Amino acid sequence: MSAEADNVARGNRGRDIGGDATDPDDAAEGLRQKRRDGLLTSRPFLLTLVCAFAYFLYLGTLQPELPRYVVDVLHGNGAEVGISVGALAVTACALRSTAGRLSHQRGTRFVIVIGIAVATVAVLLYNVAFTVPELIACRLLTGVGEAGAYVGLARLAYDLAPEARKAESTSYFTVSLFGAMAIGPIIGEAVRHSLGYHAVWFIAAGFASLALVACIWLKNPEPQEGDGHAESARPARRKWYRDLLQRDAVGPATILMLAMSGYAAFATFVPLYASHLHLSSAGPVLAENALIILVVRLFGARLPDTLGAFASAAASLAFQLAGWALVAMFPTPLGLYGGVAVVSLGVSLLYPALFTFAVRRAPQAERGNAVATLTMAFDIANGVGGVLLGGAVTVTGGLRAAFVVASALNGMGLLLLVSRSHWMRDLPRAVPETVRERLQETLEET
């Protein structure tokens, strides 16, 4: 009788760990399958990164050539250059929330395909834009595609990851973005020198077409058990203006906007400050920033999952606060390089932590809109940051004022985070890999 009871107990334990009630080998195989499912090397996830890389390569190819085209070919002035470049952000920002809602109603793959298809058509139309207003219209159409492509790809990369590795997947997604945006300008400039502007538009359309081809194999992921507020399958009908922002993402988006407004100092004033310090070029400083972000997000991708959203965001804001303060306090090349290094460490952690927290907290039906809300924070920061930092430089007459304001903006973000720390303390952190493996080995032995 005791032997029979022991067998029953073994069977029950097998059921508890996902194996067959009578075969321990099947139980171990079930655990190994779960472990494989938790890897970020699945075909759907890798295809998503390939699609994202090709799409951002399309954007990167256009980035340095469009301003030159407006001046050299269309004979536009400075204001027309700014409007032509910034027109994309207008429609992209306006339609991101719409793309987020469509990703739930029609599926993420649908939004990605439509967005990249529109972007492909838009860049081909650059070839028949013979005036600045015509080019601006094409750029507005490009923004329509950007809204769908970015929101869809960012959400798909998140949804395809296991629950404990959401921030890691977001880090890898941003690596594809940074990598493509670093390579794209090099390709665009080389093509322009060899074949001219129209060839640049066709090459960019080719990259977008590659992303569109990769979409053929993309699939909408199945909702995961216990995945946020999945029970809210369809949000209640609300006023249209309340759908512009996702409620759970507003707080993280505000923090992100403050930090990224400060980061606007990097692209706008660091090159000028490098010349002020008699450096021959700002290139090494820019390269330092890009390299640190890529290395941390690639090899430290699990840090936001392991540390938790609150600790990661707090450390990021503190690093950026201190880094910009170093640049402002020590007007030397060493101070610039050291401060930028510290800022870059902080920037590496912030977006994956806040993005993962906001999307995880949002109801399943509103996750696309949460992605849109976080993304709009970037659009707003790019506009607000330049105005705030430029105003400080104008009032004080010194470039270092921009870095003081950048540090203060991160301080405001840190205070907001600490004052609302209950936002981020109710979500579990990821269990380290070694601990999980030991627990699984213990279960297999029993």
166 contacts 157 by C-beta, under 8 angstroms: no
| Residue 21 located in a structural domain | no
pLDDT at residue 49 tops 70 = yes
Residue 229 phi, psi (nearest 5): -100, 55
| Residue 51 located in a structural domain | yes
Buried b (16+ CB within 10 A) or exposed e, 265-287: bbebbbbebbeeeebeebeebbe
Show the DSSP H helices in 196-246 as ranges: 197-214
Reported as a pLDDT band with limits 50, 70 and 90, residue 10 is very low
Q: Are residues 53 and 93 in the same domain?
A: yes
- pLDDT for position 43: 83
Domain range for 319 is 242-431
pLDDT at residue 88 tops 50 = yes
pLDDT at residue 338 tops 80 = yes
| Residue 26 located in a structural domain | no
| Residue 5 located in a structural domain | no
Q: Angle, nearest 10°, between helix axes 247-276 and 333-361?
A: 170
What is the Cα–Cα distance from 196 to 66, expressed in whole angstroms?
12
Q: Are residues 280 and 427 in the same domain?
A: yes
| Residue 229 or 278, more confident | 278
Beta-bridge mates of residue 229: 363
Q: How many domains does the chain have?
A: 2
Average pLDDT taken over every residue of the chain: 79
pTM, two decimals, is 0.71
Stretch among 86-100, 157-171, 201-215 having the lowest mean pLDDT: 157-171
| Residue 78 located in a structural domain | yes
| Residue 180 located in a structural domain | yes
146 contacts 119 by C-beta, under 8 angstroms: yes
71 contacts 189 by C-beta, under 8 angstroms: no
Reported as a pLDDT band with limits 50, 70 and 90, residue 26 is low
Q: Are residues 206 and 247 in the same domain?
A: no
Stretch among 110-114, 147-151, 217-221 having the lowest mean pLDDT: 217-221
| Residue 438 located in a structural domain | no
What is the Cα–Cα distance from 53 to 34, expressed in whole angstroms?
28
Q: Are residues 167 and 61 in the same domain?
A: yes
Q: Which of 331, 210, 233 is nearest to 273 (CA)?
A: 331
DSSP 8-state secondary structure symbol assigned to residue 225:
T
Q: How many CA atoms lie within 13 A of 227 on its CB side?
A: 21
**Mean pLDDT across 383-397:** 80
Q: Which of 33, 15, 55, 307 is nearest to 162 (CA)?
A: 33
Considering 81-90, 199-208, 430-439, the range whose residues carry the highest mean pLDDT is 199-208
264 contacts 381 by C-beta, under 8 angstroms: yes
DSSP 8-state secondary structure symbol assigned to residue 432:
P
Q: Angle, nearest 10°, between helix axes 197-214 and 43-62?
A: 170
- pLDDT for position 286: 78
| Residue 226 located in a structural domain | no
pLDDT at residue 421 tops 80 = no
Kind and range of the H or E run holding 247: helix 247-276
